[in-house]
Amino acid sequence: MTKHTPFPEKGLEESAIWQVMDCAKQGDVDWRGGRLPGFYVHFANDDVDRVGKIAFQKFQATNALGLGAFPSIKKFESEVVEWALSLFQAKEGVASITSGGTESIFIALKTAREWAKATRPEVTHAKMVISHSAHPAFDKAAKYLGLEVVRIAPRADFKTDIDALKGALDDQTIVIGGSAPQFTIGVFDQIEELAAIAESRNIWFHTDACVGGFLSPFVEQNGHAIPAWDFRVKGVKSISADLHKYGFAPKGASIVAFADAGYQKFQVFDFTNWSRGRYVTSTFAGTRSGASIAAAWAVMRFLGNEGYRKIAEQVWQIRERLLREIPAIDGLFVCGDPELTVMSYGSKTLDVGDIAAGLAAKGWYTVTPSLNPPAINLGILSLAFGEVLDLYLNDLREVVSQLKTGVNPFDRSLIGSYGTR
Ligand SMILES: *Cc1c(COP(=O)(O)O)cnc(C)c1O
């Protein structure tokens, strides 16, 4: 006998389904109210949210595995891809929509590996070198792909230690990666320098712009300086950029882009050795809904360049306030010099775990602090956070002054995690 809950014999009335689900939802974090600073939900405003949702529903049953059967999805994907390549300043290039940043990085590294097999047949033990700050998705992909990963401790300003990286390169290195910007500290790796080193040694270079890719172009258009990261940089062969982050598309949408259409043959899985004959895919999934592609198209077309620029400026202003006001709180400092809209703050006198617990107790969904350096991650993922910014800063001041008295009333079990088993 199974010890698991038996599958209910009878179906539920539709109304009862909604009742159960709405009830379950009560426990979810209030992201619409901006109570989730730094993780999980990017949210521009109700209009953008609605447009994405309606488009998602309209194309819910489509299958992006069969673009011939669904020319609608084919049109949406190719237009989103065109817009992305143009925003990333690609002269030529190709791109695909994937399910998220992790898949985009996976496909980029898979392409790099196949490219290396074809162009550097002497490599027997393919290796990737990245800074210690790079997202775990690099290692996740490397595990599937059988690549060895070497992570280099960053410099004091959290950028890549170029000398150490050079020292780690050998004749087996096929990929170097850099972040634009890094997920937690928010600084950009030196993409120009890294891509030049890669190019001079016939190594693939990948820019991970998962968080920044759909924000940096608009911030730059608004006149703020952004370090070089896109296809204007010589040697950048691929870019990952998430539509479901600052593209504000419903989750399940990201771009993997390549500088040259010639790399596509290393990207696709093209197979014939089974009874049905030829089967070709460009991304990891087989069957996948066209809904997230349609929804990304709808949101991008709804906002247009002008809409994104406006949101980018609002997000930028929230960043400016945080960079001013957090270090003004006694005992706190912002780590490094964040160059976009994600940042982390630490404390010389207090344990950041206690601060995180204090914020969690005050109803801010707070994820375990970064390990090295110990810091609380803060990303302006949502314009809703801007609306409760004063409240957040007040609560943070209160938590800090309470901890300074030496009494620690906060329960650490309220702190969340980045990812789950
Ligand atoms: C979010 C993020 C990822 C992973 O993206 P998912 O969509 O969560 O798979 C990778 N790299 C960076 C820099 C990111 O910000």
Pocket of ligand 1 from Cβ distances under 6 Å: 100-102, 135, 137, 179, 183, 208, 210-211, 242, 254
Ligand 1, atom nearest to 105 Cα: 10
Pocket test for ligand 1, best of 187, 242, 256, 420 (most atoms within 8 A of CB): 242
Separation CA 303–CA 298 (nearest Å): 9
Task: Give 210 Cα–ligand 1 centroid separation in angstroms.
Answer: 5
Separation CA 52–CA 251 (nearest Å): 10
Query: Which residue intervals of the chain bear CATH 3.90.1150.10?
Result: 304-414
Q: Which amino acid is at 227?
A: P
Per-residue model confidence (pLDDT) at position 411: 87
Q: Which amino acid is at 55?
A: A
Peptide bond before residue 181 is cis, with ω within 30 degrees of 0: yes
Separation CA 360–CA 120 (nearest Å): 51
Helical (H) or strand (E) element with 102: helix 101-119
Task: Give 255 Cα–ligand 1 centroid separation in angstroms.
Answer: 11
Residue numbers in the chain where pLDDT is lower than 70: none
Separation CA 208–CA 179 (nearest Å): 5
Per-residue model confidence (pLDDT) at position 410: 86
Separation CA 260–CA 238 (nearest Å): 9
The CA dihedral of 62, 64, 68, 74, to the nearest 10 degrees, is: 100
Selection from 165, 152, 157 nearest residue 195 by Cα: 165
Per-residue model confidence (pLDDT) at position 417: 85
Query: Which residue intervals of the chain bear CATH 3.40.640.10?
Result: 50-302
Separation CA 100–CA 326 (nearest Å): 31
3-class DSSP assignment, residue 346:
strand
The topology (CATH level 3) of 304-414 is Aspartate Aminotransferase, domain 1 (3.90.1150)
Ligand 1, atom nearest to 102 Cα: 9
Per-residue model confidence (pLDDT) at position 60: 97
Separation CA 51–CA 300 (nearest Å): 10
Task: Give 184 Cα–ligand 1 centroid separation in angstroms.
Answer: 11
Separation CA 396–CA 257 (nearest Å): 40
Residue whose pair of structure tokens reads 């160059």 in the numeric block: 339
Per-residue model confidence (pLDDT) at position 278: 96
Q: 60-82, pLDDT tens digit by residue? A: 999 999 999 999 999 999 999 99
Task: Give 187 Cα–ligand 1 centroid separation in angstroms.
Answer: 15
Domain spanning 50-302: which CATH class is it, in words? Answer: alpha beta
Per-residue model confidence (pLDDT) at position 5: 96
Ligand 1, atom nearest to 179 Cα: 13
- Taking CA atoms only, the protein residue closest to ligand 1 atom 6 is 101
Separation CA 158–CA 400 (nearest Å): 25
Task: Give 102 Cα–ligand 1 centroid separation in angstroms.
Answer: 6
Pull the structure tokens for residue 207: 């820019």
Selection from 378, 95, 129, 103 nearest residue 237 by Cα: 95
Contact (Cβ atoms closer than 8 angstroms) between residue 371 and residue 153? no
C-alpha distance from residue 172 to each of 110, 111, 127, 149, 203 (Å): 16, 16, 6, 11, 10
Q: What strands, in cross-sheet order, belong to the sheet with 332-334? A: 332-334, 342-347, 376-379
What angle in degrees, to the nearest 10, is found between the helix axes of 46-58 and 291-325? 160
Per-residue model confidence (pLDDT) at position 39: 86
Per-residue model confidence (pLDDT) at position 366: 87
Pocket test for ligand 1, best of 103, 107, 183 (most atoms within 8 A of CB): 183
Pull the structure tokens for residue 239: 């870019």
Per-residue model confidence (pLDDT) at position 413: 86
Q: 165-216, pLDDT tens digit by residue? A: 999 999 999 999 999 999 999 999 999 999 999 999 999 999 999 999 999 9
Pull the structure tokens for residue 173: 């290195």
3-class DSSP assignment, residue 275:
coil
Task: Give 254 Cα–ligand 1 centroid separation in angstroms.
Answer: 9
Per-residue model confidence (pLDDT) at position 168: 98
The 8 Å CB, 24+ separation contacts for 276-281 are: 281/65
- Taking CA atoms only, the protein residue closest to ligand 1 atom 2 is 210
- Taking CA atoms only, the protein residue closest to ligand 1 atom 3 is 101
